Amino acid sequence: MISMEASNVAHELTINGSSVTETVHDCSADNDGDLKGIPDASVASLGLNTASVGILNGGYRWHFGLFDSPIHTSHHYKSFETPFLYELIGGDRNMEQTHLICSADGKTWDEVTRDTSYLGPKYSLTCSVPNGGSSSGATSSTGSSGKLNSFFTDVRGKIDYVDLHNKGIALAYDSFIPLHDGYYEISVSMRALNGTQLYMRVNVNDNQVKDHFALGNNNDHGGINFSDTYYMKRGERWDVRIISGTFRIQFRVSTLFQVKYLGSGR
């Protein structure tokens, strides 16, 4: 894509010395805002190519050009596992440690020497409500129809000895999406606010998977605590939502939503 004066005259774009079909973007308000581009069908194949711009004589101005090209340095970046995140690291200073193969079975120096015993699950999520939540409680109308991910928005920091984090699991507005196939454990801990029936549901792609029930009482005791194990597939959209009852959520230590990867099977 190039910017020049007067796209309606015969300025020429060529790739490897050959003329190409052009797309003209005329700015009727100002000739200096005109653009000419090369449509996708005429783009050169990946390789060594020469693009040139021919501006007609007569005082026409050429302003700038935009060229899409893959960059070599994208190879320098890769994910690096930590206990609570997959960090993106890159740059030449890291390449000897994380990129260069140094063993006969194709492992990098980092893969050969690094102690990974402290990292915990490969993929996991622990979240809670921000600032202790609301004293009026959470119901099926809280957030997005009571879906926990829509108001359990704290995924960083620490609650007593519990580290909030999101590692290898994608968060949507009101759900979570596993990025790797395998067995996962969903755990929920929420306290009752009053003496109503507590009813929660686990869904995948908006389809009911399992219901959980409990009964609170007027002295603010009881609640729901459950752990389920499911086989999840990459790209599925899972959520846990409140169907009925009122949950007390201002105490974050008793208000947790967790997902933990268990493995891919035998």
* Domain residue limits, the chain: 2-65, 72-113, 124-263
CA–CA dist 67, 1 (Å, integer): 7
Pick the CATH number of 124-263 from 2.60.120.40, 3.30.70.380, 3.40.50.2300, 3.30.465.10: 2.60.120.40
Token pair in block for residue 190: 């929420």
97: helix, strand or coil:
helix
Taking only the tens of pLDDT, the chain with its 266 residues reads: 566 566 666 667 777 878 777 677 666 666 666 666 676 656 667 777 787 777 777 667 766 777 766 665 556 677 888 888 888 877 666 676 777 788 888 888 888 888 888 888 899 999 999 876 667 789 999 999 999 999 999 999 888 888 999 999 999 999 999 999 999 999 999 988 877 889 999 999 999 999 999 987 766 678 899 999 999 999 999 999 999 998 988 777 789 999 999 998 65
Count of positions (residues) in the chain: 266
Residue 208 has what pLDDT?
A: 96
CA–CA dist 146, 257 (Å, integer): 13
Residue 248 has what pLDDT?
A: 87
Q: Residue 203: how many CA atoms within 13 Å on its side-chain side?
A: 19
pLDDT digits (tens, 9 = 90+) for 62-75: 667 777 666 655 56
Phi-psi region of 120 (alpha: psi -120 to 50; beta: other; left: phi over 0): left
DSSP state of 102: -
Going from the C-alpha of 167 to that of each of 103, 130, 182, the distances in angstroms are 28, 19, 15
Residue 28 has what pLDDT?
A: 62
Whether the Cβ atoms of residue 184 and residue 232 lie closer than 8 Å to each other: yes
CA 249 from chain center: how many Å? 26
Buried b (16+ CB within 10 A) or exposed e, 162-190: eebbbbbbeeeebbbebeeebebebebbb
Token pair in block for residue 88: 């993106």
Parallel/antiparallel/unpaired status of strands 51-54 and 34-37: unpaired
Token pair in block for residue 54: 């021919």
Nearest Cα neighbor of 167 from 111, 126, 204 is 126
Residue 167 has what pLDDT?
A: 94
Going from the C-alpha of 38 to that of each of 4, 24, 31, the distances in angstroms are 14, 9, 19
What's the sign of the alpha-carbon dihedral 190, 193, 199, 205?
Answer: negative
Residue 6 has what pLDDT?
A: 63
Residue 141 has what pLDDT?
A: 93
Residue 186 has what pLDDT?
A: 97
211: helix, strand or coil:
strand
- Report the DSSP beta bridge partners of residue 19: 14
Residue 8 has what pLDDT?
A: 64
Residue 218 has what pLDDT?
A: 66
CA–CA dist 245, 138 (Å, integer): 8
CA 138 from chain center: how many Å? 26
Residue 136 has what pLDDT?
A: 78
Whether the Cβ atoms of residue 90 and residue 77 lie closer than 8 Å to each other: yes
